[in-house]
Chain A
Amino acid sequence: MAQIYDFIYNLFPYLGAWLRGLLQSWGLPEDAILLIIGLIKAFLLANFGLIGFAILTYVERKIVARFQDRLGPNVAGPYGILQPVADGIKLLTKEDTMPAGADRWVYNLAPLIIATCALAPLVVIPFGPGAVGADLNIGVLYALAVGAGALVGVLMAGWGSNNKYALLGAFRAVAQLISYEIPAVFSVVVVVMVAGTMSTVGIVLAQDVPYLFVLPLAALVFLISGVAEVGRTPFDLLEAESEIVAGFHIEYSGMKFALVFLGEFIHALVVSALFAVLFLGGWRGPWLPPYLWTLIKMSVGIFLFFWLRATLPRIRIDQMLNLNWKFLTPLMILNLIGVALVDKGLRAAGATGGLWAAGMFAFNMAMLIGALGIPGYLGHRARMAAMASASGEEPEALEAVGAH
């Protein structure tokens, strides 16, 4: 029994060792073995992304349909399960159009860059012990850096399409993505600081208590900026259909549109995978095999995205930028300083394990409540003052009414 469990637990290291032995017995040089294993890993990861994309499109439509009291896709196959296949065939057989006056190379390369940059961070996501594309010592930095490459793709799409809506959409998208990169990076920095490593595997191993319960504020901010970076509701104003038609990918059709679409969904997948790794403890968990835990934790983030989409309306662009620059970024800077001090203090006081985690949790929750409370109070006062000046009454009197 223990042997079977050990085999399942270390499935991928065993497979890797077996493959390496097999290749060595064929007498291949070391370089060639590294290359072959790397290619196999790349193939598996890319296909994980593609299959995940296909499943996600189906699951999203089903879940959102349930939220809206509809059935969702139910014609193609049992429970409409073949809907992604049907969609794929439709997109593949569509005419591949190119707008007049488009910048040929730029227009054609943009979807490729978007899709590639979305897939690339999967390399550092650990799915289980030893089951990681490459355990880089700059893991999370790599994931953030290649994710930023998608910005270039978006701008290329906007520029190359020779369409003002596409260009406007690209501007919006870049403004949003760059802005929300900052709180996201800060929350990752907090995690890196507490874990003492940038390697994703190292961060998972450092989480004896999942960081969701140690750094709840960073987790919340990472999730908010993650939603914004993926560009899903309520932050989907980079492709707001009702304002700028569809944003930077308005001119794309057929396979190229599919690639842009794929990039968006894979990005969502990657953000929730990073959330699982940074805050939910990655593959670690009781009873179930580690791979299953990874997938369960990833689907938590994904489900949150779908839930938000079904619940919230789209916000305005000034609200989006205000939320980031006036609230999240200063908050995360303060949180970074505070966590550093509290962490130092707790360790100096000799607190380890549960005590340390409890102290960090208490500090972060206090900060979270303060951060939500103070703007809430100020907003309340501003609203009261506005109402008072509108009705011409004394502001104090209304304040007293509002307090009741």
Chain B
Amino acid sequence: MTLIQAVFVLFAILTLGAGLFTVLSRHLFHAVLYLILSLVGVAGLFVLLEAEFLAGVQVLIYIGAISILIIFAVMLTRGMARNPGPPLNNQSLAAAVIAGLFFVLLAPVIAGFPWPQATQGVPADAIEALGRSLVDPNQFALPFELASVMILAALIGAIFIAREKR
């Protein structure tokens, strides 16, 4: 096992372990913290995949914004946090079976498929190319604009829904 592989295993364990605690944790605030840890693990895997820009954006958006938003929601609904009750519903066993079966069915397919080996390295100007493709009318300029309009609509909708009714 090379150094890179060891680092991969470390991040994979971090991601999966924290992910598991996220869905199992009794206390909602702890679940958010585990979610953040899991997202850090995914960011680490992005770095290993040489997608540094995505790793940075992952930390900035997911940890700096989305999980903060979730923490706020947890605190605003803290009547729920005070007496949590059982975290799982009565179909949790069936859910575990379904999720487990899904993995058991999918894993051999993935492991058995002859994936091609990475032949090319990432070009040195990958980030520049990414930026250019986002504003290039022949590539992703339109989806990019649509995405920004969508997030604007989502934000306005969120403000409208969550506003106190007077």
Contact = CB atoms under 8 A, between A and B. Distances in A.
- In-complex A–B contact (CB below 8 Å): yes
Interface of A: 31, 103, 106, 136-138, 141-142, 144-146, 148-149, 151-152, 155-156, 159, 167, 171, 174, 178, 181, 198
A136 B59 contact: no
A24 B141 CA distance: 49
A146 B68 contact: no
Nearest to A175: B72
Contacts of B16: none
Contacts of B60: 141, 144-145, 148
B63 A149 contact: yes
B134 interface: no
Given A148-B64, A152-B68, A198-B127, A159 B75 contact: yes
A171 B30 CA distance: 18
B12 interface: no
16 contacts: A31-B3, A106-B30, A136-B52, A137-B127, A138-B52, A138-B55, A145-B56, A148-B60, A148-B63, A148-B64, A149-B63, A151-B64, A151-B68, A152-B63, A155-B68, A181-B64
Contacts of B55: 138
B31 to A, nearest CB: 12
A146 B53 CA distance: 13
Contacts of A136: 52
CB-based closest 10 A-B pairs:
A148-B64, A145-B59, A141-B56, A145-B60, A138-B56, A138-B52, A145-B56, A31-B3, A155-B71, A138-B53
A137 B52 contact: yes
A142 B52 CA distance: 9
Interface in B106-154: 127
B68 A178 contact: yes
Interface of B: 3, 29-30, 33, 36, 52-53, 55-57, 59-60, 63-65, 67-68, 71-72, 75, 127
B contacts with A: majority SS? helix
B68 A174 contact: yes
B68 to A, nearest CB: 6
A68 to B, nearest CB: 37
Given A136-B52, A137-B52, A198-B127, A149 B64 contact: yes
Contacts of B56: 138, 141-142, 145
The listed residue with most A CB atoms (<10 A of its CB), out of B30, B56, B67, is B56
A136 B36 CA distance: 23
Contacts of A159: 29, 71, 75
Contacts of A138: 52-53, 55-56, 127
Nearest to A32: B3
A103 B32 CA distance: 14
A156 B33 CA distance: 9
Contacts of A174: 68, 72
A152 B60 CA distance: 12
Nearest to A35: B3
A174 B63 CA distance: 13
Given A151-B68, A155-B68, A141 B63 contact: no
B33 A106 contact: yes
A149 B68 contact: no
Contacts of A152: 33, 36, 63, 67-68, 71
Nearest to B74: A159
B70 to A, nearest CB: 11
Contact of B59 (A31, A149, A178): A149
A155 B30 CA distance: 12
Contacts of A31: 3
Nearest to A103: B29
Contacts of A142: 56
A148 B63 CA distance: 7
Given A138-B127, A152-B71, A156-B33, 5 more contacts: A106-B29, A136-B52, A146-B59, A148-B64, A198-B127
